[in-house]
Each structure stands twice: as C-alpha cells, then as structure tokens.
Structure 1
Amino acid sequence: MTEPRSPSVELQSLQPGQGAESADSGIRDADGLPVPQQIRITNITCDSFKISWDMDSRGRDRITHYFIDLNKKENMSSNKFKHKDVPTKLVAKAVPLPMTVRGHWFLSPRTEYTVAVQTAAKQPDGEYAISRWSEITEFCTADYSSIHLNQLLQKAEAIAGRMLPFTVFYRNQQREYFQQDRDAQSCFLLPTVKDNSGSHGSPISGKLEGIFFSCNTEFNTGKPPQDSPYGPYRFQIRADVLFNKTTNMYFGDFYCMYTSYHYVILVLAPDGSKGDAFCKGRLPALDRSGNRFLTYTEEEDGSLSFRHAQDVNLEVMYTEPVDLRLGAVSQISGHQLMSLSTANAKKDPSCKVCNISVGR
C-alpha cells in the first residue's frame, strides 16, 4: 500500500508579502480552541520534516490555521532568527496531519531546532483567535542526502581542472607526531574521527574515522610543495600502497574558507573495510580510473600511474591504519603556513561556487 502523501508547507513561501500572515498581527486568546499535544517530528531530512500532533475534538471544527514557532535551539527566544527578514512564527492553513515542513531559508543540516504549535481560527474581521502554545519539542536535522552530495559533486567537477601526475601521498605534522616511542605494535598511523570542517551537512564530519593525506604537486616541479600548514615533518608513502585495485573511492565534500582556494575531500577505503561499509550508500562512489579528481591508469608492465586535479586542493582520507615502515619521514625546507590549515574550518556560506541550495 502506498503511504498517503502529507500536505507540504513551504517555509520559504510563508513570508510577509508572499501570501503569508505574521502570527503576531491581530491575534487574541480564545477559549475552546484545542491545544496541540504530543508533538511528533518524523521523516527528518537536512531541510525538511513532517510534524503531527494530537488534540481534543472539542473546537476542532473551528480551526482554520496553525501557527508554527521554529527556532534554532541555540537561540531559545522566539522571533530572533538570524535572517532578519524571516519571522519564525509562521501561519499555515489547517491541512490534514502529518504536514511536511520544508524550506532551505529556515532549515540547515545537522542543526538542533525547537518547535511549538498553536491552533488558530481566522475571524471575519481578519484577526485570529488562538489556542495556548503546545509544549516545545526539540529535534535535529539530518546530513546531506545522496541527492545533495551529488549536487555538490557536480559543482566540484566543474572547477577541478586538468589532471597532473603524482607518485606519493604525504602527511605533514610536527616532529612529535612521528617520533613517539613506538613499539612494533604501534608503528602505525591510526585513524581518528574527522572534525567538523567543511560543509555542515557532510555525513563524514564527526562520524567517519580516517587519516588525512595530500597528493597535490607544484606545477613547475611535479613534486609535493615544500610549504605546509600542519608541520615541518612529512611522511611520504607510494601512491599505490593506499590507492590500488582493492581500494574504493568516495566523494566526501567540497568547500572553501572565505578564500579563492577550494577543497575536495575524497575517501579511500579498502574494499570490505569498516570505512568502506560506512561510505556505501552514504557517499557518491567514484570510478578509480574515470573521475575528475584522482585516478590511476594501469600500464603495460602492470604498474599504476596516478593523476590528481590541478585546480582544487585534495584532502584524501584513508580509513585504515597505515604502517610507517611502508614510507619515510623527512623534514621539509619550506614555511609553516597556518592560514591554510583546514582544521575545524568553517565553510563560506556565501560562495556561489561550492554551495548548494539546502543550507550550509
């Protein structure tokens, strides 16, 4: 049996001057209108949710509208939403429940909100009689869906540029990171949970464990740059150790940090690994030899040759431990450019190149 479609309320359309009415204009308390109880929030996405509630039958036939008060949880005061032109008390016609609420002007991914509801009856003079507010209910919006991530992927592909050859993945850190007292058991770089840098709705932030590597090269030398934002010591490892026929690759994010530089996060996960299981169904999978960011080609002798996109900074997240003995650590001669660090960096919500229309 097909589930009945819920009536949808487009929050973006519920603004003064666009057929909506502010819940603060011309209202008066009324006895006899039922107060919404047991608010239920279901089918939550990054920019929509379904809402329903219970209410007494007495006075239900008088209801013409619902007033919805939606606020970010961090901002508990009503009608103080960050966008100055958008009220949070909104008027929706009384439609059958559950009712779908959507609108990227209001809802951002991975954000905690509070919602409360009133029932209302529009009077002949245009004013409203209203019930008391329901209890406040809290919920959190979801990550980007695969549809949204594919939109982000298409934007990243549009600026990736031509492909340049490379031979190694590398990771820069302070000396202490590589010179800890390591026994045979701990000669490995271990995955850690990704921070909250980049797009707010990326499913990997705060959830997927991995180790970040770079592979970008200098155009004039074909080698890794000598400057780094992360430290003067560099671990280098042959590209085919991490990226080969048994490695699956996924698109994770595309963002900038109020600069002209754009970053693409790719996830490399050995087939059948824990990281691979996490990415399947959550992230767009990329063809290892046919994508715009990171590829390999098998040569006649069976070896692999590698290329990376020129016009984006690639952050490659490898999901499994990496044996330090498979590479080498050395000091680089360049500067430590901390301004280029992406640790917990916030995405520029105004950039037209790397944002999609479902919140930042």
Structure 2
Amino acid sequence: MKCEGKVGSLISGSRSFLHLQHCERNPRLHSGLTITEMDAPLSTPCNIQICEVTCDSFRIMWDMTPEDTARATHFFIDLSRKENRDPNRFKHRDVPTKLVAKAVPLPMAVRGHWFLSPRTEYCVAVQTAVRQADGDYQVSEWSQVVEFCTGDYAMEHLQQLLDKAKGSAGRLLKFSVFYRNQHPDYFDYVRECGGLMSPALKDTSGSHGSPINGKLHGVFFSCNTEFDTGLPPKDSPYGPLRFQIPAGHLLNPNISLYFADFYCMYTAYHYVVLVLAPVGTAGDDFCRTRLPMLDLASNPFLTYTAPQRPGEEPLYCHASDAILEVLYTEPVHLDQGSVEQISGHHQLMSLTTANAKKDPSCKVCNISVGR
C-alpha cells in the first residue's frame, strides 16, 4: 500500500527524532464502532516487516486485526542502534518513549537524515494506540523487536560528496609515477608469491556509507608530489620501502576512473578516494552502478591527457590540495616498476589511515545523510 501526502510533524517527548511520510488518514477510523469496541484491548502488533531500506530511510509494516486497523489513531515507534539497545527501556506502558505518529496506511516510510546512519544495525519495535477524549492513550503491548541494517550511500549521496570534494581539490600538478610504501616484510611476501601484488579488501576507513568499504578489492597507490621538487614525498606513514610504477601503467585510455569517498580525520587536510578499474573487469562492473564515473581528461582530482603531437608523452596531473588514495582493482607485478628505500628519516606513523574514522563534525566533507 503506498503512502501519499506531505511530511507531518511528530512528537517525541520534547524532541522530534524522525520525519515520517504523512499519509491520508484511514477514512474508517472510529466509523461505526461501539463504546465497547473502543474500550477493548488493542492486540499486539505482529509480523513486523522492514522493506525498501536505504542509507537513511526504510518502510515498516505489521499485521493488525481489522478492528484495530479501524480504530487506531496513532503508532508508537521505538528505534535505536543495535549496540545501544536497552531491554528495560519501556518503563511506562502508556507513555510514548520515542516517537508518536498519526496512524497511516501501511507500509509507513520512516526517514530522518540526522538520526539514521548508513550501514548501521538498528532495532525497532512498535505499538498501536487510540487517543482518548481526555488526551491519554490506550495502547497495545510492544511488538517483538526486529533488527535490520541500513544501506550504503546511493549514487545521489555520492554525487553530493563529490560536489563537496571538488571544492577542496586545488590546482592540478604534474606527476609521473604512482607509488606504494610498505615494510620489507610485505615485499618479501610479494616476492614469495611470484612478485604479484594482489588486490586486498578495502578497509572501513573514511565515510561509513562508502559502497567500496569492505566490498571492493584493490591495491592502494599514492601519486601526490611535493611542491618544491615535483617528486613523491621523502617520508611515508606506511613503510620505508617504496614501489614506483610509471603513471601510464595504471592511468590510460583503457581505465575507468571513479570517485569513491571524501573524508578527513580531525585534520585540516582531506583525503579523496579514487578507483582505477581496467575497462570490462569485475572491478569496473562493481563500480559502474555504485560510484560516479569521472572523465579521465577533465576532472579536479586525477587526469590523463593524451599526446597532442607525434612524439609527445601523455600528461598526468593530480590535485594539489587533497591527499589522493588511488585504489587499482587488478593485480600489479613488481616487474612493472621498482622498489627502493625512501630517503626520509622518519615514517610519520600517526598519519596512517587504516580503518580511520571520519570526523563527523567537519562541515567540509560531511553530507546530510549520516557519517
């Protein structure tokens, strides 16, 4: 059953927690009911169903008797994060603890970008209620608690994040190599595996709702350069050995470029996560329906410009004011580049981003659908 109408105002003690899609009232409410039927106990809602789940909304429905459907005036909804659930929360059976919404045809849409977060487990329970003439409520028992998980950012949300990231990119600088720093043990292991750096599962760092977190495999590379030398920085938070590969091996006309994330870790500088996927590969297929695709020759972060004249080399540029994290979705062989010791005297371990959490208060890199 589809809801129609405008967003209605909701009451929850002294605060409003969620927006519900306000639907037309059921025309059968109170029609033809006797006083005895009105005073009869309400049955407990059962068969709770959650559907159409997004990163910041869902629809909920449940089974009621025809008599309860006819006389219910309000629904009470309790929604909480799974990890913070308190089974003794419902102390007053006749007092709403979370949310009061006027009874509407089910399923009912629940949304509220300041409350629901992407990829987060929630618990929900419901009551039905009849508002009486004196303002008190006759209520049912609480339903069973149902658990569900919100989804990833949709394409429209990533586009909002992309628009924010464009403002922090800065001017484009030339570069010639992608590089990857690791400790000696890592490269020893790679050599034991035939010299192939295999894609690893993306961790949970950055925006909680990014579709690639914990789902896309790849090999991370950097390409940022120092302003004064135009070369990769001398220090690294990831290790003292650096694998360098000519830019053209990873960035060329046979590559699809995608935007995946924009975040910071309580610092002034920001990270932009990009995905490079060879056209037609599994990584390309994964990203095509989940991430905004960027034009290789014209975007604020990472560009490839084809040679304009015979004998010229392609031009590769990166954003100057954002730290780029480039995820290449296919294996890379050590023979395609070289491994050397970096010349810096320290490794800046505090700057690593493994499983780093995004600053939820930053106005530069957050959008309106959670962190």
Partner of 2:21: none
Q: Alpha carbon RMSD of aligned pairs, Å?
A: 2.1
Cα distance per residue 1:115-164 (max 9 Å; x no partner):
00000111111111110011111100000000000000000001100000
Partner of 1:303: 313
Residue 176 of structure 1: CA displacement? 1.1
List 4+ stretches of structure 1 deviating above 6 A: 7-11, 18-21
Partner of 1:24: none
Partner of 1:281: 289
Partner of 1:127: 136
Matched letter for residue 370 of structure 2: G
Distance 1:104 1:79, change over 3 A: farther
Matched letter for residue 357 of structure 1: S
| Secondary structure of the structure 1 residue equivalent to 2:330 | coil
Distance 1:122 1:307, change over 3 A: same
Partner of 1:337: 348
Partner of 1:211: 219
1:19-38 correspondence to structure 2 within 5 Å: 32-38=41-47
Residue 79 of structure 1: CA displacement? 9.2
Distance 1:271 1:20, change over 3 A: closer
Cα distance per residue 1:15-69 (max 9 Å; x no partner):
4457899xxxxxxxx8521221101100000000000111112333221100001
Cα distance in 1, alignment partners of residues 78 and 208 from structure 2? 23
| Secondary structure of the structure 2 residue equivalent to 1:339 | helix
Cα distance in 1, alignment partners of residues 180 and 151 from structure 2? 31
| Secondary structure of the structure 2 residue equivalent to 1:61 | helix
- Equivalent of 1:328 in 312, 334, 338: 338
Residue 14 of structure 1: CA displacement? 4.3
Query: Contact 2:118–2:151 at 8 Å: present in 1 too?
Result: yes
TM-score if structure 2 supplies the norm length? 0.88
Matched letter for residue 243 of structure 1: L
Distance 1:19 1:283, change over 3 A: closer
Cα distance in 1, alignment partners of residues 110 and 240 from structure 2? 50
Distance 1:333 1:233, change over 3 A: same
1:111 maps to 2:123: no
Give % identity: 61
1:319 maps to 2:326: no
More displaced 10-residue stretch of structure 1: 242-251 or 70-79: 70-79
Cα distance in 1, alignment partners of residues 88 and 321 from structure 2? 43
Partner of 1:236: 244
Residue 231 of structure 1: CA displacement? 0.3
- Equivalent of 1:259 in 267, 279, 283: 267
Residue 256 of structure 1: CA displacement? 0.2
Matched letter for residue 105 of structure 2: P
Distance 1:266 1:303, change over 3 A: same
When the two structures are aligned, how many residues end up with a matched partner? 342
Query: Contact 2:3–2:106 at 8 Å: present in 1 too?
Result: no
Distance 1:156 1:194, change over 3 A: same
Partner of 1:27: none
Cα distance in 1, alignment partners of residues 146 and 41 from structure 2? 23
Query: Contact 2:119–2:209 at 8 Å: present in 1 too?
Result: yes
Unpaired runs of at least 5, structure 2 = 19-38, 90-95
Give 1 or 2 for the bigger CA radius of gyration. Answer: 2
- Equivalent of 2:59 in 37, 50, 65: 50
Residue 6 of structure 1: CA displacement? 5.5
1:39 maps to 2:48: yes
Distance 1:338 1:7, change over 3 A: farther
- Equivalent of 1:248 in 238, 253, 256: 256
1:170 maps to 2:179: yes
Unpaired runs of at least 5, structure 1 = 22-29, 81-86
Distance 1:19 1:273, change over 3 A: closer
Cα distance in 1, alignment partners of residues 116 and 97 from structure 2? 11
Partner of 2:103: 94
Matched letter for residue 323 of structure 2: N
Query: Contact 1:66–1:92 at 8 Å: present in 2 too?
Result: yes
Matched letter for residue 59 of structure 2: K
Query: Contact 1:263–1:315 at 8 Å: present in 2 too?
Result: yes
Residue 319 of structure 1: CA displacement? 0.2
Cα distance per residue 1:193-241 (max 9 Å; x no partner):
0000000000000000001000000001000001100000000000000
TM-score if structure 1 supplies the norm length? 0.90
Residue 8 of structure 1: CA displacement? 7.2
Distance 1:270 1:20, change over 3 A: closer
Query: Contact 1:7–1:99 at 8 Å: present in 2 too?
Result: no
Partner of 1:74: 83
| Secondary structure of the structure 2 residue equivalent to 1:74 | helix
Query: Contact 1:7–1:97 at 8 Å: present in 2 too?
Result: no
Cα distance in 2, alignment partners of residues 131 and 295 from structure 1? 61
Cα distance in 2, alignment partners of residues 181 and 90 from structure 1? 55
1:137-216 correspondence to structure 2 within 5 Å: 137-180=146-189, 182=191, 186-216=194-224
